[in-house]
Amino acid sequence: MSIVFFEELARSGIGGLPLAMLVQTEMVPPPILQFGTEEQKQKYLAPILKGEKIACLGITEPNAGSDVASIQTRAVREGDRWIINGRKIFITNGVRADFILLVAKTEPSKGHQGFSLFFVDKRTPGFTVSRKLKKVGMACSDTAELLFEDCRVPAENLLGEENKGFYQIMWELQGERLFGAVGAVAGAQYAFERALAYARKRIQFGRPICEFQVIAHKLVDMATEIEAARQLIYATTWKVAQGEYPVKEISMCKLVAAQVSCRVADAALQIHGGYGYMMEYPVQRTWRDVRLNRIGGGTDEIMKEVIARSLGI
């Protein structure tokens, strides 16, 4: 159902909308459902599902992107409170979110085994949205830098087990990457359809440009790459639905879909010619939006590292 949902959202032509919804429906809720107490589910999960609260996920930091283990945000227990200090960046929904699901170090000496997850409400003293970031694309999706200065949160705001946050968040990332791949292919499909429609109506040298072999073959390549990526995603989704945990295949989906979306969007803009570079044509928006696919949720390079390890390399 979620796959279909994100495929159809792409038809809006607005990349930032599915991105914001991805956080709201597929990134923050799963860890709460999997690891949260009943009280946490009622306080945070139920309002998300009802559309009463907006959520964001705080992982990336200025000096810790793909290397999640390098996170420096620190949470120290003091009585019935956790004192949090640190900074997060590139946080989708961060400006307007009602709460953040935050990754912080609770036991630095334990490395990967020293991270925990916390709920931090927007009005908590010491929690500040330091700035709204300006991006190349995804313009309607707000992205923030967040600051935590002696931010005091109740002890019951710990999600799941203390020092198990790294494993909980890595589990969550697999769903994020799979749905990111879905969005990338759906965005590519949207760009392809716009390019095909334009090529059919654009007349040059007395005939539609789609009748020229150079354009026809470009469209064929676009359609073929999209379908190949889509079928890989569907096959991987089937494995997930069967209860499997196919990290290698999910990483392949993310890698292939992201690259295909960029190639297709660039080809779609090229088919539009000079008009494609004009702001009045929607293909330029897709071209700008899809570039994030190769960065967000794990870069191409990180996906290749994950796949390489899965192959025993």
> pTM for this structure?
0.91
What are the b/e assignments for 207-233, b being 16+ CB within 10 Å?
eebbeeeebeebbeebbebbeebbebb
* Superfamily classification of domain 2-161: Butyryl-CoA Dehydrogenase, subunit A, domain 2 (2.40.110.10)
The CATH code for residues 168-310 is 1.20.140.10
26 is known as an active-site residue: no
Averaged over 211-220, what is the pLDDT?
A: 98
Among 26, 176, 225, 249, the active-site one is: 176
Model confidence over 112-130: pLDDT tens digits? 889 999 999 999 999 999 9
User: Could you give the residue range(s) of every CATH 2.40.110.10 domain in the chain?
Assistant: 2-161
pLDDT at 65: 72
- 127: which strand partners? 148
- Report d(CA 261, CA 281) in Å as an integer: 18
Give mean pLDDT, residues 232-256: 96
Give the pLDDT of residue 166. 85
